[in-house]
Amino acid sequence: MSLGGWWDALVLAAQWFFFAYFVAINLGYMGLNFISMAEMPKHMEQRLLDLLPRAYSPYEPPVTIVVPAYNEEATIGASVRSMLQLDYPEFEVVVVNDGSKDGTLQALQREFSLVPYAEAYRRQIEVKPVRAIWRSTRHPNLRVIDKENGGKADALNAGINAARYPLFCGVDADSILERVSLRRVVRPFLHDANVIASGGTVRIANGTEVRGGFLESVRLPARMLPLLQIVEYLRAFLFGRLGWTPFNAVLIISGAFGLFRRDAVVAAGGYRRDTIGEDMELVVRLHRLHRLSGRPYRVAFLPDPICWTEAPESLRILRSQRMRWQRGLSESLMHNRALLWHPRGGAPGWLAFPFMVAFEWLGPIIEVSGYVFMTLGLLSGIISAPAFWSFMLLAIALGTMLSMSALLLEEVSFHIYKRPGDLLTLATVAVIENLGYRQLVALWRLQGLWQWAIGAKARWGEMQRVASWHKDP
């Protein structure tokens, strides 16, 4: 075969590879979507039971809510108030002020009448020095730990050290929990003694109205960037995680809202402080440790416990977030690569882990390469216009189909967005996000992957809170 023949064959093979990859990734997610549709009725039945009058059972375990806070002055008051009003028999809230540079601690002192509290602090997990412990005179179940800055993982570990109860729930300081969320996320622990972790759904708070810690109304945000993220979150939670539940292969529980068995996390060493993806890394590590040692366990996900959190409203902050998430994914997979195809790996090691590697970890490389290759090929004449447009239309159509299916699943199950025109708006956004936004996010993820590969110093970056959804009581 001549050199020109080899080149033509190579170009053709590359075209088919990118076509096949884009079809495979979308078929994989569509498969998870079908599984989620089969799982959803079980959760909806339990949700209906919550509407009935109910007396609390002594079997519901007490829970410690750990709230790591760094420069959260704008939202910390509303978030803590929402947690103190949770519909649950026995719980405590431990806020960890991780060396904030703003008025986070002062806001807590002012709103909850904090006083110094003498307490024996157990350092089961090594953390940065604790400067002081405070207790609310108005809410006996609220304590605040003031410590030197050590990052989110270190703050969570400090809260775990101070936790008095067997279960702890990590909640971001910019988040609002619905009153029944804790009661719902604890369900798996009541039904199965082997459950070590469970997570709920995270939704976008931009556009909502929260007053006095209570969610009063749900509205779509006015700006396009948070709207695009609503569709992303629907995909990620309603089938991106629910679909793995029947296989006990959920590898991610959002750091914004996750419930864990305290002794299991302490035995695993707590959250790793040398990763910025501490939430995923902990869950994957728990899978690895339990699978490889042969200990029975289960990691659960439920779509109905809801946590509302603020999404970035600027491209700069969103870019930083997505780069950070991709680095966190890389660190989580590499630190726990022994789980991949291990003889005892089960569904997490043989299904979920390879899926994450092929479609989430390597995805940005192949997706961006595919778009660049097809575009340059069209411009240079080595790829025909019909082949180029077939590829682009296929990628856009499959992406839109996935977003629409997630929107359909949301509409037939929870129907959170009830205002006239909301469904049409979200359906329009589900199309628009495939016309540049998803490609831009893929580029940011590729940058995050590159930074991880070259060992660049990880930075959390500053998340500027708009807090327009928070209203004074």
Residues 447 and 329 in one domain: no
Residue ending a domain, among 318, 347, 376, is 347
Residues 369 and 337 in one domain: no
Beta bridge partners of 202: 307
3-state secondary structure (DSSP) of residue 209: strand
Domain CATH number, residue 68: 3.90.550.10
Residues 192 and 77 in one domain: yes
The tokens for 373 are 């290759």
Residues 179 and 320 in one domain: yes
Q: Identity (one letter) of the amino acid at 445?
A: R
pLDDT of residue 52: 53
Residues 297 and 414 in one domain: no
Residue 372 lies in a domain: yes
Residues 228 and 132 in one domain: yes
Residue 447 lies in a domain: yes
Q: 326 near 276, Cβ under 8 Å?
A: no
Q: Identity (one letter) of the amino acid at 162?
A: A
Alpha-carbon gap, residue 155 to 66, rounded angstroms: 9
Residue 320 lies in a domain: yes
pLDDT of residue 413: 79
pLDDT of residue 77: 86
Q: How far is CA 197 from CA 171, 289, 441, in A?
A: 14, 14, 29
Domain range enclosing 424? 3-27+358-453
Residues 368 and 295 in one domain: no
Residues 142 and 72 in one domain: yes
Residue 34 lies in a domain: no
Residues 134 and 210 in one domain: yes
Q: Give residues with Cβ within 8 angstroms of 199, minimum separation 6.
A: 185, 241, 250, 252, 253, 254, 257, 258, 259, 300, 301, 302
**In which region does residue 415 sit, left (phi positive, over 0), alpha (psi from -120 to 50) or beta (all else)?**
left
Q: Identity (one letter) of the amino acid at 333?
A: L
Three-state SS string over 288-302 comes to HHHHHHCCCCEEEEE
Residue 379 lies in a domain: yes
Q: Give residues with Cβ within 8 angstroms of 318, minimum separation 6.
A: 225, 229, 311, 312, 444
Residue 112 lies in a domain: yes
Among 368, 248, 235, which residue's Cα sits nearest to residue 296? 248
Q: Domain tally for the chain?
A: 2
Alpha-carbon gap, residue 70 to 105, rounded angstroms: 10
Residue 172 lies in a domain: yes
pLDDT of residue 408: 86
Residue ending a domain, among 347, 370, 404, is 347
The tokens for 359 are 């479609």
Q: Identity (one letter) of the amino acid at 264?
A: A
Residue ending a domain, among 285, 312, 347, is 347
Q: CA quadruple 185, 322, 279, 345: dihedral positive or negative?
A: positive
Residues 17 and 141 in one domain: no
pTM for this one? 0.92
Please list the pLDDT of the chain residue by residue as tens digits (473 residues). 565 677 778 888 888 898 899 889 988 998 998 898 888 877 766 665 555 555 445 578 999 999 999 998 888 888 898 899 898 999 999 999 999 998 899 999 999 999 998 887 888 999 999 999 999 999 999 999 999 999 999 999 999 999 999 999 999 888 888 888 999 999 999 989 999 999 998 889 888 887 766 777 888 998 999 999 999 998 888 778 889 999 999 999 988 899 999 999 999 999 999 898 899 999 999 999 999 999 999 999 998 888 888 889 999 999 999 999 999 999 999 999 999 999 999 999 999 999 999 999 999 999 999 999 999 999 988 888 988 998 899 888 988 998 998 888 888 777 888 888 899 999 999 999 999 999 999 999 999 999 999 988 766 555 555 555 555 55
Q: 15 near 391, Cβ under 8 Å?
A: yes
N-term to C-term CA, the chain: 77
Among 304, 402, 341, which residue's Cα sits nearest to residue 32? 402
Among 186, 207, 149, 150, which residue's Cα sits nearest to residue 65? 186
Q: 448 near 297, Cβ under 8 Å?
A: no
The residue to which tokens 């003498």 are assigned: 118
Among 97, 88, 55, which residue's Cα sits nearest to residue 169? 88
Residues 329 and 435 in one domain: no
Residues 322 and 367 in one domain: no
Residue 268 lies in a domain: yes
Q: Residue 353: what are its φ and ψ, rounded to 5°?
A: -65, -50
The number of residues in the chain equals 473
